Amino acid sequence: MRTAIKVERTNCCVFNNSLNRDIASLGGVYGVNIDNYRNEVTVDHTDEVDFSEIFLKLKENGYNPLDEGKYGKAGYSKTDYDGLFQE
């Protein structure tokens, strides 16, 4: 499965390698691509991926994901994510 996550901005290409490694190390993720021109992070993953972990990694690396409330497993609600994204 492939999911494209829009982000507010992307960093310079130099920083993409560390984010690629961080996200790729998560359970259920087998590929990551960061498109600096489209401000988009594409994640290839299984159905078991935990999007809250992906969004946490994005935030830790200075990316601001847009519409994060629409991603996630069944049973998760937007309030489950709220505590992860406070500055």
| pTM confidence score | 0.73
- 3-class DSSP string for 29-62: EEEEEEECCCCEEEEEECCCCCHHHHHHHHHHCC
The token pair at 10 is: 């992307």
CATH architecture of 2-82: 2-Layer Sandwich (3.30)
Q: Kindly list the domain boundaries of the chain, sorted by start residue.
A: 2-82
The pLDDT value given to residue 50: 87
Cβ contact 34:24 at 8 Å: no
CA pair distance 13, 83, nearest whole angstrom? 29
Highest mean pLDDT pick, 13-17, 38-42, 78-82: 38-42
pLDDT tens-digit readout, 33-67? 988 888 899 999 998 888 889 999 998 888 889 88
Q: pLDDT tier at 81 (50, 70, 90 boundaries)?
A: very low
